[in-house]
Amino acid sequence: MAEVVLRDLVKTYAGATVRATDEVSLEVADGEFMVLLGPSGCGKTTLLRMVAGLELPDSGQIVIGDQDVTYLEPRRRNLSMVFQSYAVFPNKNVAENIGFGLRVRGTPAAEVRRKVEWAADLLQLSPYLDRYPAKLSGGQRQRVAVARAIVMDADVLLMDEPLSNLDALLRLSFRAELKKLVGELGTTTLYVTHDQVEALSLGDRVAVMREGRIAQCDAPTAVYDDPANEFVGGFLGSPPMNFLTGTVERDGSKLDLGGQSLAVPHALSTFAGRTLKLGVRPEAIEVAGGDGALQGELQVLEPLGSSALLTTEICGQPVKVQAPPTFRAEPGGSLSLRIPPEACRWYDPETSLLLEVR
């Protein structure tokens, strides 16, 4: 096992005008499960391929354990990979597929058999060892690819969207299996996904990427509860965080949203006379009257089974509210909405950065 340290990794593909990764630095602790999350094209696969040695950075450094591997050949990095396409060999059965890497490495047959059986047992593939991939389901094939990677006893496990080809239900069950498995293995893992639920569920920490950079790297609850910038708040969550823009009144105590106002923490009174953005999650807003409640106009109500999603407007600004599943009201009507002070996150509109007020 080993820690992985990335320092200022820059990669520009030939002919490209923008950097695929732009001075990315990241430290993954020994045994940690690190998820790289971000929209398509933000540089996740590029970063993983540089760690694997399949791409060379223009500049920067990659250290695994105590070895600088930046320019080391892939096979000498002692890592194993599972890729999006999870290519399994169609002309080899499950056991041969899982043991392939070990045999190439010259591992004795008895040892290969022992490891294949161990991995097959962990991934519930034991009944299928003699089957060929054509007769496996997508989920089983994907498990074969994972099994093949874990038998290698690598220091580092790299996975690029290994669940991407599964349907929603399979994804859900395999996600839990994978979490259990990786917890048991304790191998340092870098896991790429653009699925935020998967990222939050699996990661010890989540590095949220945007345009070749890391926008925030922290524990799942931290990136969700305290997005470091508007991008992270607007990327995580379904629906994502709401942002309301207002002007802080002269005495610094309230944010005027355009006719209605909301209390501002004392620490932000320095913003008096300036604009400020309020970030609040849809599930944190309560449909309730009382002190400080704002009036919103209900535009759409969507019953979603476990909740009701309300599309509303406060002072002409769109706000999504996640209400209890039994909530009913007629669109076009007015709603009292309460935004609890502890659910408010404040952002500087000039920098998009979270303002520390607690």
Catalog residues that contact ligand ATP under the rule CB under 6 A: 13, 16, 20, 38, 40-46, 194
Of Mg ion, ligand ATP, none, which one sits near residue 40, judging by CB under 5 to 8 A according to partner kind?
ligand ATP
Among 21, 45, 70, 242, binds Mg ion (CB under 5 A): 45
**Shortest Cβ distance from residue 41 to ligand ATP (Å)?**
4
Encoded tokens for 31: 């045994």
User: What stretch of H or E contains 244?
Assistant: strand 242-248
Amino acid at 150: I
Encoded tokens for 67: 């070895």
Q: How far is CA 343 from the centre of its chain?
A: 22
Q: In the complex with ligand ATP, which residue's Cβ is closer, 20 or 323?
A: 20
- Sole window of 41-49, 69-77, 212-220, 270-278 interacting with Mg ion (rule: CB under 5 A): 41-49
DSSP labels for 268-319? Answer: GGGGTTSEEEEEE-GGG-EE--STTPEEEEEEEEEE-SSSEEEEEEETTEEE
**Shortest Cβ distance from residue 209 to Mg ion (Å)?**
11
**Shortest Cβ distance from residue 142 to ligand ATP (Å)?**
17
Q: In the complex with Mg ion, which residue's Cβ is closer, 116 or 209?
A: 209
Q: In the complex with ligand ATP, which residue's Cβ is closer, 212 or 279?
A: 212
- Diameter over CA atoms, the chain: 78
Does residue 32 contact residue 183 with C-beta atoms inside 8 Å?
no
Q: In the complex with ligand ATP, which residue's Cβ is closer, 28 or 42?
A: 42
Of Mg ion, ligand ATP, none, which one sits near residue 42, judging by CB under 5 to 8 A according to partner kind?
ligand ATP
Amino acid at 18: V
**Shortest Cβ distance from residue 296 to ligand ATP (Å)?**
35
**Shortest Cβ distance from residue 147 to ligand ATP (Å)?**
23
Q: In the complex with Mg ion, which residue's Cβ is closer, 45 or 261?
A: 45
Of Mg ion, ligand ATP, none, which one sits near residue 43, judging by CB under 5 to 8 A according to partner kind?
ligand ATP
Report how far residue 199's alpha carbon sits from residue 38's, in angstroms, rounded to the nearest whole number.
Answer: 10
**Shortest Cβ distance from residue 38 to ligand ATP (Å)?**
6
Q: In the complex with ligand ATP, which residue's Cβ is closer, 212 or 282?
A: 212
Report how far residue 63's alpha carbon sits from residue 47's, in angstroms, rounded to the nearest whole number.
Answer: 13
User: Which residues are registered as beta bridge partners of 334?
Assistant: 297
- Sole window of 38-46, 212-220, 290-298, 343-351 interacting with Mg ion (rule: CB under 5 A): 38-46
Dihedral angle computed from the Cα positions of residues 150, 151, 154 and 155, in that order, rounded to the nearest 10 degrees:
60
Q: β-strands 308-314, 242-248: how paired?
A: unpaired
Q: In the complex with ligand ATP, which residue's Cβ is closer, 43 or 99?
A: 43
Burial (CB < 10 A; 0-12, 13-18, 19+), residue 342, is exposed
- 21 lies in the site for Mg ion, by CB under 5 A: no
User: Which residues are registered as beta bridge partners of 88?
Assistant: none
* Residues contributing to the site for Mg ion (CB under 5 A): 45
